[in-house]
Structure 1
Amino acid sequence: MTGALLRSLELFWALSKREVASRFKGSYGGLSWYVIQNLLLLTLYSFVFGTLFKSRWSSGDHIQGNFTIALFIGLIVFNTFAECITRAPTLILANANYVKKVVFPLEVLPAVTLATALFNAVIAFLVLIVVAFILKAPLHWEGLWIPVIMAPLVLFTLGAAWFLAALGTYIRDINQMVTLLISAFMFLSPLFYQITALPKAVQTWVMFNPLTIPMQESRGALMFGETPDFGLLSIYLGVAILAAVSGYSFFQKARGGFADVL
């Protein structure tokens, strides 16, 4: 799997840059819309939750953080996952011309989609840092661990994207099912609420959501200066590697019939 992706690295970068640039191609703002969208979104949440509701996000008994910052961190994690997963079932259908080319590495397409989502996440984090400074919301250097915290989610998402891209080529209903599933992932993750507010039995199930650990650990590191739980992240990484390998294997086995169903 790794060898195949490394051989396609140059193509991957070329397609990723084209995908990022084409997102707002022809618009006056161009790539600046990545910043504008995240800035407007964060401003809206800051006004609603920070000014109107004066909400706070707690850690421990006495530490409180800005609810807007906590919510936006969760949204960055969620959007990275959701953007890639929702597009995955139609990736091959939308790029049918590549299927006819025997030498084209189709497995690169889900990786390009993920790269685009990660680019937007980086921009969003930069906007978050600037706005946190303006709002005087303290951020901590432990936030530098966020790439490590996000790594298992990235691998898990890539594996799921490979699986859904292959399955969605054969079963067109997968696209509608994934749309509903993403909504479930959103509300069954600690995006709008703290997991400690849930009953103990429910907390256990919410922890199985692939978004929960990245949200919790990213907030803890950036907002409260907490060291990530590397034991928990190691377990998640093991699951994510298994998901990535399984998703890639399924994609490679299924790709042989893509041309027949398109």
Structure 2
Amino acid sequence: MQNFSIAPRELFASAWRHRELIAASTKREVLGRYRGSVLGIFWSFANPLFMLAVYTFVFSTVFKARWVGGNGSKIEFALVLFAGLIVFNLFAECISRAPTYIVSNVNYVKKVVFPLEILPSVGLLSALFHAAVSLAVWLLAYFFLVGIPHVTVLYLPLIVMPLLLFIMGLSWILASLGVFLRDVAQFVNIVITVIMFLSPIFYPVTALPEAYREILLLNPLVPVIEQTRAVLYFGVPPDFQALLICWIVALLMAWFGFAWFQKTRRGFADVL
């Protein structure tokens, strides 16, 4: 029986060894989503633009919502809201698909030489591409509606990278559990909906009573959304102490998820 390493360095070494396969699979994943459509990959730009317009109209015009502590303008609310949605959508797209990464690729399981551990990486990079497009739409909207973006935008990779590592770790766990427990996919969809409303997307953390803030901070998306919004819209540097904690938690989660996947993958073929 083949042994699969769970060493922390193997987490990154495997991705590097199979980088060409990951790149080719990601390209196929992105292009395959729009295959056969008239507008093709243009939809990746149209979707975030459309959602930005819809959320802006619904929350700022219908519900008369204003951002707490802001200047009260519709433009501010739209940009602040959309910044949070970019982070959430990246997380939701990966995690909602994670339980099906293995069960939807049964033919790969039968091939001993295929590196199953890269499947979550392909899903993550595909979601990251769409997040990057949404970010480009956000920056263009900010430029035309507000002005030149803050230089603090350059901090964004430091904030997003821990989220990517966290997503990878959780995706490996869910991909494995999805093989043995098919109900996981349904449960995850419910949890994602709950997380959306328990994340500071439509409101800032400061809008909540202090008694509830500690509970909200258990949500791993909270610091990422708050700091993304700070560097993108408000021009405030990130909280480096909180950022360091995010990096430590994310690295531990990534390694634990990878180790879990490597330990359980021997049973995939028997179940499938």
Q: Select the residue among 16, 34, 43 that pairs with 2:26.
A: 16
Q: Select the residue among 71, 77, 83 that pairs with 1:67.
A: 77
Q: Which moved more, 1:130-139 or 1:202-211?
A: 130-139
Partner of 2:112: 102
Contact 1:190 1:215 in 2 (8 A): yes
Partner of 1:140: 150
Change (3 A) 1:54 1:223: farther
**Cα distance between partner residues in 1 of 2:24 and 2:78:** 36
Q: Which moved more, 1:46-55 or 1:162-171?
A: 46-55
**Cα distance between partner residues in 1 of 2:60 and 2:149:** 16
Question: Shift in Å at residue 136 of structure 1?
Answer: 2.8
Contact 1:50 1:66 in 2 (8 A): no
Question: Shift in Å at residue 135 of structure 1?
Answer: 2.8
Contact 1:189 1:206 in 2 (8 A): yes
Contact 2:68 2:207 in 1 (8 A): no
Partner of 2:139: 129
Contact 1:35 1:127 in 2 (8 A): yes
**Cα distance between partner residues in 2 of 1:76 and 1:19:** 20
**Cα distance between partner residues in 1 of 2:208 and 2:139:** 29
Contact 1:59 1:224 in 2 (8 A): no
Question: Shift in Å at residue 57 of structure 1?
Answer: 2.6
**Cα distance between partner residues in 2 of 1:63 and 1:38:** 23
**Cα distance between partner residues in 1 of 2:147 and 2:227:** 18
Q: Select the residue among 223, 230, 233 that pairs with 1:220.
A: 230
Question: Shift in Å at residue 59 of structure 1?
Answer: 4.8
Deviations 1:17-50 (A, max 9, x none): 1101101111011111000111111122233334
3-state SS, counterpart of residue 67 of structure 2: strand
3-state SS, counterpart of residue 102 of structure 2: helix
Question: Shift in Å at residue 132 of structure 1?
Answer: 2.2
TM-score w.r.t. the length of structure 1 is 0.94
**Cα distance between partner residues in 2 of 1:43 and 1:150:** 25
Q: Which consecutive unaligned segments of at least 5 residues does structure 1 have? A: none
Partner of 1:241: 251
Partner of 2:191: 181
**Cα distance between partner residues in 2 of 1:156 and 1:87:** 15
Question: Shift in Å at residue 195 of structure 1?
Answer: 0.9
**Cα distance between partner residues in 2 of 1:183 and 1:34:** 22
Runs of 4+ in 1 over 2 A off after TM superposition: 45-60, 62-65, 132-139
**Cα distance between partner residues in 2 of 1:152 and 1:59:** 28
Q: CA RMSD in A?
A: 1.8
Partner of 1:34: 44
Question: Shift in Å at residue 128 of structure 1?
Answer: 0.9
**Cα distance between partner residues in 1 of 2:127 and 2:180:** 25
Contact 1:139 1:224 in 2 (8 A): no
Question: Shift in Å at residue 257 of structure 1?
Answer: 0.8
